[in-house]
Chains A and B, each alone.
Chain A
Amino acid sequence: MTGLFSRLGQKRDPAAEPVPAVRPRPVEPPAEPDAIVPTKALRKFVSALRAHPSPTLLDLGPVVGSNVEYFGEQFGCKMFIGDILLQADRFDREHPDGGLPAFLETCFPQETASVDGVLCWDVFDFLDRPSARVVADQLMRVLKADGALFGFFSTEPPVATRFSKFAVVDEGSLRHRWYGPARVRQAMMQNRDIITLFERLRVSDSFLLQSKVREILFRKPAYLASP
């Protein structure tokens, strides 16, 4: 037994190991075909939007033409679209010294309490804790009282993957497609972490799907609307 340990060598000192300045890029995952994934919370999100005559929607994901048609034509939404992950990735590449949270704070020019709905998709799976904190704060700021926020949170350990693009097929299903650069998902968040992150919102509905994805619909209660 002792011989086996001696064969493995001395215990490594983590402090002695040099920390790379830039995180190495993960290996490109294989391209996967589009998949139709079920959703349970989208229907509730949509019905929350329907309560407003011409709602304002903030989409943190990449632009998807069919989503623009769906929310724009069917609900008369005014949509703000900005691929937050692609912006973050670009910033990381251009600024290897860090500063992503400060940059993300500038990505929300919307006025306070001006948005009826937020489509987060799986954005928070790819953000580190400080960045997630900043984005969550901004989302809680821009959301109106009784506004809704729809997000996915992975319950699986970090894995190298691509960013996801979700296209609404109908209120019960989404078309999932990979895009963008390879990136490692951050450590998964527990339920309490998610609730703490969106402390000024109330969990309206939460579903754990067979795909190990937790879908959560948050609402902003009127009594928590004032900043």
Chain B
Amino acid sequence: MYNKTQFSDQLYTTIPARRHYDHIVIGSGPGGAITGCMLAEAGRDVLVLEEGGYFDLDDIEPFSIEEMKHKYRNGGLTLAFGKIKINYVEGKCVGGGSEVNSGLYHRTPKDVLAAWRNDFQLKDADEESLEPFFQQCEKDVCISYNPGVLSKASLKLAEGAEKKGWSQQEVPRWFSYSGKMDAEGQAEGVKMSMTQTYLPRMMKAGGRLMPQTRVLKIVQTGGHQVIHCEHQGQRFDLTCKHCFVCAGAVQTPQILHKSGLGKHIGERFLLHPTIKVTALFKEEVNRESMGVPVHQVKEFAPRFSFGCSISTPPYLAMAMTDHPNSAELVNTVWKKMAIYYAMTNAAGKGAVKALPVYKDPLVQYGITQEEKQHLAEGLKKLCELLFAAGAEVLYPSIAGSSPLHSMEDVNKLPASIPAATSNLMTIHLFSSCPMGENRHVCATDSYGKLHGVEGLYINDASLLPTALGVNPQGTVMAFALRNIDHFIKHTS
């Protein structure tokens, strides 16, 4: 396993004396890490800037309060405002979202690629053109299925789907399994996040990384980009010929807005609205170090899909705050409880707007009636599945709602989720700066170069023209590889 001490020569922990680089990458999440790595391995001069700190994988326990405090932006307290407020989380650390997410991998669905080609005039986005990039990503981050004993909570989802005759699948993760099993049969290994894959490669190839550095704005002057930065309260400038903004679907438009650069920036922000339900089973389905649940039900995709969430006692207790009369169950029978979710594909419209004076952007998402109906229908179907899998009681994340003991109770749920009391969340954010040749809606060309702006590129989840209906990191990585490959081939 890599750790940061192995790369101390390539890490800037203070403001560097050298201020000019050929390429500067803003952000070290999947998009930025891949961009930096490919540039460095192509022999290019590159510096990656990251606003968050550098933590090794074993510095902080996954899915813990410490992770929330140190690796999440705003301590995880980020909201998309609208008729229904949607809580979202973003990674803010070296490696970005790849350090804090579950690592579930999907390729881009075929119908989504077709829509991107048709509606956004996105070039070279057919399956055949993308195949080598997906294959490369899958090799680089060891996409693999869990060879050990899977969590019972996750298997309950598969069991319920099979009983209903609905299609379900085990989803692979970016994870390198060692072949060893613990006493309970769980496979041991290392999560192949960016700090274990592309960032070490980048630094081995001569690239440099500077954590704890916030980019305030970019100014274009004399064919160069001047990057105004802040490192531990001290402001300084860097310059480069080519700048890649890879700060994620919220921060990328924020930086570009603050810089006054680009068109259609932050106008089409999308997310996957998600509602949760906590299930109480007759038998134990949960345990200490339950691991990441890997089953998903796609029977009703793209309208909605289901999965199982991290279900540690703190997460369970928080989920049960919507059901105060039953909250004590977490103290006594948490091993019989697990959290599940229904996620709908984005049909609404969001925006990321820079506010004068403030550092943080205003994030808005207008959920549509259609999405509310899909979530309500998804919640009902999920409940149906969980009862089929043996759940005794279900607790939806709707404040003040009654526990559900049977399908009779489920059928009484409203046809559209209530705006005032539904607690929605998401971890999938994208589409704030779509790519494509359709200049009426796209911020960049088909390879991430800002329309009408020289030397400035985007290469992260912001580029995805629409929602995917599946975990987006595989798509983000494949397109990041494709775009930087195109850049390297077409620039000297």
Q: Please indicate whether A and B come from the same complex rather than being unrelated chains.
A: no
Chain A positions near chain B (C-beta within 8 angstroms): none
